[in-house]
Structure 1
């Protein structure tokens, strides 16, 4: 009996020593950060090939310019001096499994800050992956900064201390759109169409609920979901829309799924209004043409004709960096995300994920024409939203989109408090 007892004691002491060593290593790594002068790396997991490559490329352009702006000011200040930011791109081909493979590559490279956004299905999988990684590797924790994945679950039932969203949720965007529809006396029959995944389903649910509450007289004459990124010809869907008698289309479609949809509607000569999440870029204005003037609306945290101190200069600086018309798609939220990350690292005095997360909670962004606050309760950024309507350049529109000759004019502005919606998040916070 003595040998087993001795073996058990030795194993207990060994386990305790390993635990203590792991804790010490975790503390060492947590405070270490990059070596003096080394860049602080940001890993972008996004679709850079396939059907939505144009959306991934648009993100990369915005992030690169935002990073260049931080670096032009000397980089990020830490106790050992200043560090530049650097972007590393991991192509997930817009798939969930590919995203998890790229996540492992990113974590193997010990990158502390991951950014992603062009798919809520991917974002939900990555939140789970980050949660597991940070629990398993406390000495190498990472933050997930989300610039476009708008499924409300990400800041409600699936909220995580390690995830921050810098875009308005689908519910927030739909709230803004339906506030305009509430006043649209011509809207009588609405057709809902979207992509068949978590985001598309949530968008349809939000539209139905909000329209019922705000405009009970409106008839929802269609509620259609289609495969994401696989439909090349939307004419069968347009035939259904025509048969329904719809006068208004509400869609959260993005990328080529939006461009091909609006092209099919235009080619069919169908005169309907579009209320969209993303109808102001990635080829959509040119695809719609004259048929969209006064008919197509989009919702965003900012747009080139928003005006205000510094807004024109911000937009023109982007155009100077990326002069090609097809590159003209500016996301304010991505620029403020990088600026807020840099500010949080400086406030924390560290690149350790937990310290930076705490510095981000309650942080504010202000640049003279835009203001935003990161809500600590659910890590949802609160910021104004603009609903804008498509017009020809020169008709109250100073800047057009993508050289199309068509731009967007503000129709409704919702202030930061007006866009905030309640959250059901019950966040689990780490002890340290």
Structure 2
């Protein structure tokens, strides 16, 4: 090739668009995590972030989300609401303004309700920038009943489903005669106490409620007065929906005053609660969930082991199957829709099914089209020392774990809905 030819080839090459010289990475599908990542429940928010980060990483490792124009990765973006409702609303506007089409939140039903309302208005006002709200933990039943929305999908069992599982265990515990109720003073905590009494009145009319308390959420530093009241009441057990530090501080106070009570909890199996309870929790602390590390089976063991390899610090051992299922079902719905458009994805996700046994779960989960509430099996477990029969894996390096005491099929926990969802 002559010198002139080489110069002409170089000039032609330099004039090519950059896209022809270097393949550009596919634009990611962005998910906004709006959560309290600092403040009194910052540990719970960071634990959620690890779960969702791992879920997106696993999908990206498989090549991402397959779309007609080519596969695209998922990208999780953090928005720290500090646990404040007003801050969460401001961050929602910011995420939507940046064109993010999928919003994730869960650690507060009050915040979730405000975000659903704001998103409904936004989607009606700006249909070209609609978004979906993916809820992994806000379990006030009203969110899929009176306040249901075509843009909201809940992947956690709501409070009545969880209560049904716990009440089913208490139904057979005839030695239990005196129960104390305590909860956080906001929509979810109020509902747990109100509905807990109603369910128990049907299942155990002989059971006496010896006391009940609602306390400010995230603001009580000393639970000793509450613990002293529980002990003085003669209660044999406590039913609570408390989560995060409000649960950890409560169980520490109960231990300090020497209250010998069983605990029926929504979240007593994580975020420091087992270590705080110690030996007093052996055989006494019950938790309800869609999965726990000792449910057994090769798939469950592999699922847990993979998470521990990704996050080897024992303190980070907070793994929830539903958060993985949420991201898996979202990715599958985007692929079925062939688009990231919120309306198309909403239609694809409504009624969708996912066999969570591939991740070690207990059976098929399905997103009920009537109210966008995920229907799934649940399991009740009880705290025991690590290494005891059925407790191969400990929680958060605490020396304690949980073993299964009761499994409930989807039909056993499914609840009716009053949702009258309007078409978008």
- TM-score, length of structure 2 as denominator length: 0.92
2:300 is equivalent to residue 311 of structure 1: yes
Out of 403, 416, 419, which is 2:413 matched to? 419
The equivalent residue for 1:410 is 404
CA-CA distance at 1:308 after TM superposition: 2.6
Out of 29, 36, 46, which is 2:35 matched to? 46
- Paired with 1:150 and 1:88, the residues of 2 have a C-alpha distance of 23
- Paired with 1:387 and 1:375, the residues of 2 have a C-alpha distance of 23
Cα RMSD of the aligned pairs, angstroms, is 0.9
- Paired with 1:185 and 1:402, the residues of 2 have a C-alpha distance of 32
CA-CA distance at 1:36 after TM superposition: 7.5
- Paired with 2:217 and 2:246, the residues of 1 have a C-alpha distance of 7
- Paired with 1:271 and 1:333, the residues of 2 have a C-alpha distance of 32
CA deviations on 1:369-400 (whole Å, 9 max, x unpaired) are: 33211000000000010100001011111000
- Paired with 2:132 and 2:410, the residues of 1 have a C-alpha distance of 25
Matched-pair contact (CA < 8 Å) for 1:385–1:413: yes
Out of 204, 209, 228, which is 1:220 matched to? 209
Which SS does the other structure have where 2:222 is aligned? Answer: coil
Which SS does the other structure have where 2:71 is aligned? Answer: strand
2:132 is equivalent to residue 165 of structure 1: no
CA deviations on 1:35-85 (whole Å, 9 max, x unpaired) are: 971000000100001000000000000000000000000000111000000
CA-CA distance at 1:244 after TM superposition: 1.1
The equivalent residue for 2:255 is 266
Out of 257, 263, 277, which is 2:266 matched to? 277
Out of 57, 73, 87, which is 2:46 matched to? 57
Which SS does the other structure have where 1:210 is aligned? Answer: helix
The equivalent residue for 1:87 is 76
Q: Number of paired residues?
A: 396
Runs (5+) with no aligned partner, structure 1? 1-34
Out of 411, 428, 431, which is 2:422 matched to? 428
CA-CA distance at 1:309 after TM superposition: 3.8
The equivalent residue for 1:293 is 282
Matched-pair contact (CA < 8 Å) for 1:36–1:80: no
- Paired with 1:65 and 1:307, the residues of 2 have a C-alpha distance of 22
The equivalent residue for 1:129 is 118
The equivalent residue for 1:347 is 336
The equivalent residue for 1:386 is 379
- Paired with 1:372 and 1:278, the residues of 2 have a C-alpha distance of 21
Which SS does the other structure have where 2:133 is aligned? Answer: strand
- Paired with 2:115 and 2:80, the residues of 1 have a C-alpha distance of 14
- Give 4+ residue runs of structure 1 displaced > 3 Å after superposition: none
